[in-house]
């Protein structure tokens, strides 16, 4: 232990509260605005270790006043005790009166420097301890009793303040690096979207054809009998809407089915250069070309196959076009017109008018958009690397202080 530092248990330096035995809010407890009630904080309100109030839920004033010990005030520290266990943030300011939902505990009446304590709780030392005391078969949960036993190194208050100042400065610079990488990526994405709209805007000389005229096949699949129970680790790929991103394919969570299940979906067997288009749900109108390494594959009922007639339209041009503002606005309007859910039917797609230039012009447009798309992907990878390195640097700084 460093000179003049002492260990204290968390329960010695603060009071720990939570919603013990609370079973949640009823529909009647929820309101729509801060004029009608108080914020009820959830783990989603913690972003990158800081409080984010951009998306909030509200409960009635009566429900808020029911538990005064868990009313939240600036200076309190929140710790998620279930689900995303250990997620922590110091409440520096509040836009409105607030309380916590059952996933939190709150540290109040902290007798040490609360910013110092908040930094410690974000360190690997604290996070490992919190995870070690998380118990439960169905859902991992941290008890307040065990949390109170956490040993924490405390220097004198004056040293705590100096440590906080140094960490604030260092973390501020680190967040600046992350923000710069994110800003560059956002700018590149906006530039790509503008270029996509410009290149794909129909010209007078372009020939108008329907998607039915431009494709050999338009059709979606189905979920095999048994649903997720028939998925296997290796086999024939089953592409779902979650795998179809905008001009990209997500390999994570790619399902696989056996030969028998695949035979039942023989009519929606994917072929090289097929264009995938999501036709239902929140990811409606996302579109990409199937990668070769996914084949052999089938699609489920949420994804439609657009198999282009290559003598008329290039697969990549069709994909870019479906993602461009000219087509996307129309298709989203169709999808949102349903009474019960977002959906685009086969008939909607067949009737959709898709103007095309000559194949040589299509190739020129695709080449330019491919180059821009590659740049965006490179910046996405660079941003991920910067964020990972910055987060690792933060932990290195915390280890230097607390170990």
Tens digits of residue pLDDT in 228-263 = 777 888 899 999 999 999 999 999 989 999 888 888
pLDDT above 70: percentage of residues in the chain: 97
Tell me: the pLDDT tens digits for 282-322? 899 999 999 999 999 999 999 999 999 999 999 999 999 99
Measured CA to CA, the distance from residue 34 to residue 54 in angstroms comes to 13
- Which pLDDT band holds residue 338 (cuts at 50, 70, 90)? low
Q: What's the average model confidence in pLDDT over 337-359?
A: 86
Three-state SS at 126: helix
Q: What's the pTM value of the predicted model, to 2 decimals?
A: 0.79
Euclidean distance between CA atoms 301 and 222, whole angstroms: 4
Residue 353 pLDDT grade (very low, low, confident, very high; cuts 50, 70, 90): very high
Q: Specify the higher pLDDT residue, 20 or 171.
A: 171
State the DSSP string of 241-261.
GGGEETTEE--TT-EEE-HHH
pLDDT of residue 28: 85
Specify the length of the chain in residues. Answer: 403
Please give the pLDDT value at position 341: 64
- Bond preceding residue 113 cis, omega within 30 of 0: no
User: % helix / strand / coil in the chain, to the nearest 5?
Assistant: 45, 20, 35
Q: What is the pLDDT of residues 182-208, one digit of tens each?
A: 999 999 999 999 999 999 999 999 999
Token pair 């339209």 is at which residue?
Answer: 313
Closest CA to 115 of 173, 155, 171, 76: 76
Lowest mean pLDDT among 17-31, 206-220, 284-298: 17-31
Tokens of 28: 């009647």
Q: CA 107: distance to chain centroid?
A: 28
* Higher pLDDT, residue 233 or 38: 38
Residues 66-95 have a mean pLDDT of 93
pLDDT band (50, 70, 90) for residue 336: confident
pLDDT of residue 1: 63
pLDDT at 225 over 80: no
């Amino acid at each position: 232990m460093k000179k003049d530092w002492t260990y204290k248990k968390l329960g010695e330096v603060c009071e720990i509260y939570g919603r013990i035995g609370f079973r949640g809010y009823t529909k009647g407890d929820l309101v729509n605005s801060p004029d009608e009630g108080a914020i009820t904080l959830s783990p989603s309100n913690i972003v990158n270790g800081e409080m984010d109030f951009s998306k909030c839920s509200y409960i009635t004033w009566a429900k808020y006043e029911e538990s005064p010990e868990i009313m939240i005030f600036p200076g309190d520290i929140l710790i998620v005790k279930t689900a995303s266990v250990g997620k922590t943030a110091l409440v520096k300011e509040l836009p409105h009166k607030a309380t916590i939902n059952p996933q939190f505990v709150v540290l109040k009446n902290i007798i040490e420097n609360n910013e110092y304590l908040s930094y410690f709780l974000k360190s690997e030392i604290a996070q490992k301890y919190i995870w070690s005391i998380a118990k439960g078969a169905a859902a991992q949960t941290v008890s307040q009793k065990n949390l109170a036993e956490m040993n924490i190194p405390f220097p004198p208050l004056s040293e705590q303040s100096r440590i906080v100042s140094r960490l604030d400065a260092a973390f501020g610079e680190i967040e600046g690096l992350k923000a710069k990488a994110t800003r560059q990526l956002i700018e590149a994405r906006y530039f790509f979207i503008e270029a996509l709209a410009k290149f794909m805007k129909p010209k007078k000389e372009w020939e108008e054809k329907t998607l039915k005229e431009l494709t050999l096949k338009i059709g979606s699949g189905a979920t095999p009998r048994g649903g997720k129970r028939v998925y296997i680790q290796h086999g024939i790929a089953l592409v779902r809407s979650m795998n179809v991103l905008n001009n990209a394919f997500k390999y994570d969570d790619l399902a696989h089915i056996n030969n028998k299940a695949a035979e039942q979906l023989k009519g929606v067997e994917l072929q090289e250069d097929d264009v995938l288009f999501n036709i239902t749900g929140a990811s409606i109108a996302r579109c990409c070309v199937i990668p070769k390494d996914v084949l052999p594959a089938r699609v489920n009922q949420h994804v439609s196959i657009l198999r282009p007639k290559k003598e008329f339209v290039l697969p990549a041009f069709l994909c870019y076009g479906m993602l461009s503002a000219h087509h996307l606005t129309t298709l989203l309007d169709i999808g949102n017109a349903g009474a019960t859910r977002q959906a685009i039917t086969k008939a909607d797609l067949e009737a959709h008018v898709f103007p095309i230039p000559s194949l040589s012009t299509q190739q020129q447009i695709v080449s330019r958009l491919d180059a821009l798309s590659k740049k965006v992907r490179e910046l996405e990878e660079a941003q991920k690397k910067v964020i990972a390195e910055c987060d690792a640097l933060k932990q290195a700084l915390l280890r230097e202080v607390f170990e």
